[in-house]
Amino acid sequence: MTLRRQFDLLPADRQFLDDYGLPWEAILDGAQQWVLIHEFPTHEGYNHQRVTAAIRMETGYPNTALDMVYFLPALARTDSRTIGAANAIQALDGKSYQRWSRHRTLQHPWKIGHDNIGTHVFLIEDWLAREFEKCPLA
Residue 1 has pLDDT above 90, yes or no: no
Sign of torsion over alpha carbons 5, 10, 11, 16:
negative
Residue 109 domain-assigned (yes or no): yes
Distance CA 7, CA 44 (A): 34
Residue 35 domain-assigned (yes or no): yes
Residue 3 domain-assigned (yes or no): no
Residue 138 has pLDDT above 70, yes or no: no
Residue 4 domain-assigned (yes or no): no
Residue 6 domain-assigned (yes or no): no
Which range is least confidently modeled, 7-16, 23-32, 38-47, 105-114? 105-114
Residue 68 domain-assigned (yes or no): yes
* Domain of 59, in residue numbers: 11-134
* Residue range 67-113, pLDDT digits in tens: 999 999 999 999 999 999 999 999 999 999 999 999 888 888 999 99
Name which residue leads in pLDDT, 43 or 56. 56
Residue 2 domain-assigned (yes or no): no
Our count of domains for the chain comes to: 1
* Residue range 124-134, pLDDT digits in tens: 999 999 998 87
